Amino acid sequence: MKIFKSRSTHTNFILLIFLVLLSGCALSNITSVSKNKTTKPFSSFFILCVESPDEIKALNKENYENFIANNFNKIDGLNVRSQLEKTISRNLSIGNFPRIVKSLDVFQVDEQYTYEEFMEKIGATGTEAILFVNLRNYWQSKEYVTSYYKRSSVTREELEPNATYYAYLYDLRNIDEYLWLSKVNVYGINAGYDTLNNYFARRISKDLKKNKYSY
């Protein structure tokens, strides 16, 4: 008995493998510290994201004016921060619980806010906790990929994206001291910033739930 393999099926299989190889993926690791526990998990979060090389451990007036005020709603990097807030929301909240409020839904892009206005607007959302994320470092690493075809080969240089994130959790009633801190490194493979953000969001969401800060 002869078995005939459909050329179209074979072609589709090759195409599927090719698409899988092209799709972005990443490796990640997390280090977290639970500084203070809560009596029960938070049922609502305010998400705030910045891109800064500085260490920002408290949401006080000094840090706001020096590192946050001209950063969190600037137009530069808006797409990255917007996607980051969305993926955190998707991973942290299932069926709209816990309730999530994103900073970009509250603050106008490229508008100036005093510290008092900033805190008043966050307080008006009625959220219990602030999840503050700092995309602290972004860099690219070189990879050399060799492709072989018959008796020839071609080596090309590829740049892979990587990122380091710091995330801090604050009780809105005490923003001078964080409850929980995490550092997440994400190493991309054929990935864009959205893939890096997605891996980060899954990591911290799982850790927050594990440590009983979120439902």
Question: Which structural domain range is residue 185 located in?
Answer: 24-210
Q: What is the CATH number of the domain that holds 117?
A: 3.40.50
In a domain, residue 18? The reply is: no
CA gap 66, 178 in Å, rounded: 19
Above pLDDT 90, what percent of the chain?
76
In a domain, residue 215? The reply is: no
Q: Given this model, what pLDDT does residue 106 score?
A: 99
Are 186 and 27 in contact by the 8 Å Cβ rule? The answer is yes
Q: For 139-170, write each residue's pLDDT tens digit.
A: 988 777 677 877 777 777 778 999 999 999 99
Q: For 58-99, write each residue's pLDDT tens digit.
A: 999 999 999 999 999 999 999 999 999 999 999 999 999 999
Q: Is the pLDDT of residue 211 over 80?
A: yes
Q: Given this model, what pLDDT does residue 6 score?
A: 40
Q: Given this model, what pLDDT does residue 5 score?
A: 39
Split into its structural domains, the chain has a count of 1
In a domain, residue 106? The reply is: yes
Q: Given this model, what pLDDT does residue 24 score?
A: 67
Say what the pTM is: 0.83
In a domain, residue 8? The reply is: no
The whole-angstrom distance between residue 186's C-alpha and the CA centroid of its chain comes to 10
In a domain, residue 19? The reply is: no
Mean pLDDT value of segment 20-39: 83
CA gap 153, 135 in Å, rounded: 38
3-state SS, one letter per residue, for 117-175: HHHHHHHHCCCCEEEEEEEEEEEEEEEEEEEEECCEEEEEEEEEEEEEEEEEEEECCEC
Asked, as a colleague might, if the bond just before 53 is cis with ω within 30 of 0, I would say no
In a domain, residue 70? The reply is: yes
Are 33 and 195 in contact by the 8 Å Cβ rule? The answer is no
In a domain, residue 162? The reply is: yes
In a domain, residue 184? The reply is: yes
